Amino acid sequence: MTIELNKPALRHARALIREGKVVRDERDDWSEAAPSAEEENAFIDRAGWTQYAHWHLGVDRSENRETKQAYTFPFGDFRRVHRSGVISAESRAGQYDHEEIRDALRALRELIDDEGR
């Protein structure tokens, strides 16, 4: 299992932040804001696996691309980037030594904070 930075997702997140599609919430809010399994399934049915992948900064290329197991480090609710999701994912990436992903998430958090000023 090798989790890599999902560069298309990073570009997607940056674009959303620049467009103002951001929820500036706090870390603990992610448990309520994160999409449920049912919401994920509905999104996949509606938008497909490629769009689902664009909402996750980690990708495990050893997994089937059409399974949820292939994608980690979600950062939004399929409409907006959540600061709480970015913070939560940044923390988890750091805990599991995914430095490139952690650094990308830190940069996203800083972009969110800078755009909010």
Distance CA 65, CA 40 (A): 15
pTM, whole model, 2 decimals? 0.94
User: Considering its fold, how many domains does the chain have in total?
Assistant: 1
Distance CA 114, CA 10 (A): 17
Q: Copy the structure tokens of residue 84.
A: 């709480």
CB 90 within 8 A of CB 102: yes
What is the pLDDT, as a whole number, of residue 89?
Answer: 97
What is the pLDDT, as a whole number, of residue 22?
Answer: 97
Q: What one-letter code names the amino acid at 53?
A: A
Q: Which domain holds residue 43?
A: 3-115
Altogether, the residues listed in the chain come to a count of: 117
> How would you write the pLDDT of the chain (117 residues) with one tens digit per residue?
689 999 999 999 999 999 999 999 987 899 999 999 999 999 999 999 999 999 999 999 999 999 999 999 999 999 999 999 999 999 999 999 999 999 999 999 999 999 766
